[in-house]
């Protein structure tokens, strides 16, 4: 009795399961039974060659029925009626159902963040803050569409908030190596961490800096003290502090300051702050000609430079700009085709 129950359980688990192995076995059995049955009843015209039989079986089983080949015996016709056509239709339905099921499961895996993403040079975002994260993604899309794909990785129990627009990975921990491999962390060009809990943000930042030290690491902390702590271990990280109190104070002294800052930070409307690099092969020049050409030719305003010693706001016009200097400017759109020969 026990052996029979185990055999019954094995049959249910292995035979009556719609998987690739069972489909292949069923198909081969269907072909063999069809050929042997027609051969035994004397249908030599259909079974004399592999090509002829394969052509006949596909045409008949799919109910196309061109009529150029057909059984000549009464027994052969009954075999086609009772087995070949019903069996072919059943196999086709099973195959279609399997393909549809696999397609839906593959799509659902991506929607639920269970699938590994296949991207490189992407922006990896860690953390979920509901509408703030959506707004952040929208601003990045305005700048990066067609340049760098966006991958959102979160511990929150959600589905992909923007299916078809971004890639999505669900993890249990931002420091789990096996799970983080699904995000393509080692090939990311920028890692942006914006998590509600600062302690999780700090641990994720340290892990990401160790896993991909070449990536541009951006981290948002509510507690500014953690920014200093992260800088000690990861000097190249860029920490974004909470500036709500400073913004309130500035707006109280100079009304309209908050609107100005929002305008400069928003990439979807109005004038926005951008940056570019002075070419490595260009001759050193002063700020004056760059400022003039930016304004006259591109309707852009140079506001700061960074030669590697920190950002200099409103630099002197006679300040020398050498190769590799980062230039910060305000413009309506990012300018990608500066004519550096004009300086």
pLDDT for the residue numbered 7: 43
> CA torsion sign, 171 to 176 to 177 to 178?
negative
**Assigned token pair, 225:** 């003290």
Do 100 and 148 fall within a single domain? no
pLDDT for the residue numbered 4: 42
Are 103 and 131 spatial neighbours (Cβ–Cβ below 8 Å)?
Answer: no
pTM score, two decimals?
0.65
Reference 19, options 84, 97, 109; nearest CA is 97
Q: How far is CA 25 from CA 50, 51, 317, in A?
A: 19, 21, 80
* Domain, as residue range, for 301: 271-342
Beta strands (DSSP E) in 104-163 are: 123-126, 150-154
pLDDT for the residue numbered 8: 47
**Assigned token pair, 311:** 């950002």
Do 237 and 290 fall within a single domain? no
pLDDT for the residue numbered 245: 63
Q: Is residue 117 part of a domain?
A: no
Q: Which residues of the chain have pLDDT under 50?
A: 1, 3-5, 7-8, 10-11, 15-16
CATH number at residue 230: 3.40.50.720
pLDDT for the residue numbered 267: 65
pLDDT (tens digit per residue) in 8-26: 454 455 544 566 677 778 8
**Assigned token pair, 110:** 């991506």
CA 271 to chain centre: 30
Q: Is residue 118 part of a domain?
A: no
Give, as one character, the DSSP assignment of residue 183. G
pLDDT (tens digit per residue) in 158-207: 888 988 899 999 999 999 989 999 999 999 999 999 888 889 999 999 99
């Amino acid at each position: 009795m026990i052996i029979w129950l185990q055999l019954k359980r094995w049959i249910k688990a292995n035979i009556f399961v719609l998987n690739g192995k069972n489909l292949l076995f069923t198909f081969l059995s269907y072909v063999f039974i069809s050929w042997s049955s027609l051969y035994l009843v004397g249908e030599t015209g259909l079974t004399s060659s592999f090509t002829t039989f394969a052509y006949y079986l596909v045409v008949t089983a799919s109910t196309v029925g061109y009529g150029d080949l057909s059984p000549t015996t009464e027994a052969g016709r009954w075999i086609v009626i009772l087995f070949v056509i019903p069996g072919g239709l059943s196999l086709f339905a099973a195959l279609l159902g399997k393909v549809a099921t696999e397609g839906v499961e593959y799509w659902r895996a991506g929607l639920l963040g269970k699938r590994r993403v296949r991207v490189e040079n992407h922006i990896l975002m860690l953390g979920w803050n509901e509408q703030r994260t959506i707004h952040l993604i929208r601003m990045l899309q305005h700048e990066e569409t067609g340049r760098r794909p966006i991958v959102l990785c979160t511990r929150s129990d959600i589905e992909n908030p923007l299916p078809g627009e971004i890639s999505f990975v669900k993890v249990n921990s931002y420091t789990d190596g096996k799970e983080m491999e699904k995000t393509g962390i080692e090939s990311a060009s920028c890692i942006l961490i914006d998590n509600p809990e600062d302690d999780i943000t700090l641990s994720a930042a340290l892990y990401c800096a160790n896993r991909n030290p070449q990536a541009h690491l951006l981290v948002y902390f509510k507690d500014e003290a953690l920014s200093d702590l992260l800088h000690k271990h990861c000097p190249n990280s860029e920490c974004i502090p909470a500036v709500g109190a400073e913004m309130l104070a500035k707006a109280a002294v100079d009304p309209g300051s908050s609107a100005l800052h929002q305008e400069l930070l928003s990439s979807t409307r109005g004038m926005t702050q951008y940056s570019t690099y002075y070419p490595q092969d260009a001759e050193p020049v002063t700020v004056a000609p760059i400022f003039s050409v930016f304004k006259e030719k591109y309707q852009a305003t140079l506001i700061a430079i960074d030669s590697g010693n920190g950002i200099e706001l409103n630099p002197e016009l006679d300040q020398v700009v050498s190769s590799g200097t980062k230039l910060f400017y305000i413009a309506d759109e990012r300018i990608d085709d500066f004519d550096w020969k004009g300086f």
